[in-house]
Amino acid sequence: MDRQLENPVLLKCPHCGQESDSIKQFTIATGILCLLVHFSWKPVHYTACPSCMRKFILGRMIVNLITANITWPIFIIVSWGPQFARSFSRGHTRWIRKQIAEGKLGVDATFA
């Protein structure tokens, strides 16, 4: 069995302050702008507990509905949808686990 699931390290969510054994850090598309001759988006590393992560992803989906226009379904398929689904998985994400293993994160950790 996975050692993390047997003895989980609880970390505080940087947004709600709740302790969680499943802190997630995902790269999520934001600031999408699709015009006829211009297209841009910005990847953002976001760290949060599963609940805050889902709120953030749903917020990005709504905020970018107008600006992403015809590309919006593509971002649902390649960015927000998969990250939203992964937020339901148990345990910290790989980067968080690596930081814990290196002694860089503990209960009183602050996230950059």
Summarize as ranges the residues that interact with Zn ion (CB under 5 A).
13, 15-16, 49, 52
Nearer to Zn ion, 56 or 75 (CB): 56
CB atoms within 10 A of CB 53: 26
**Min. distance of Cβ 30 from Zn ion in angstroms?**
18
**Min. distance of Cβ 105 from Zn ion in angstroms?**
15
**Min. distance of Cβ 110 from Zn ion in angstroms?**
14
Nearer to Zn ion, 52 or 61 (CB): 52
Nearer to Zn ion, 32 or 99 (CB): 99
The two three-digit tokens of residue 94, written as one number: 């790989």
Q: Which are the contacts of 77, defined by CB distance < 8 A and separation ≥ 6? A: none
* Cα distance between residue 21 and residue 42, in whole Å: 28
**Min. distance of Cβ 60 from Zn ion in angstroms?**
16
Nearer to Zn ion, 71 or 91 (CB): 91
For 17-41, give the DSSP string: --EES--EEEEEEEEEEE-SS-EEE
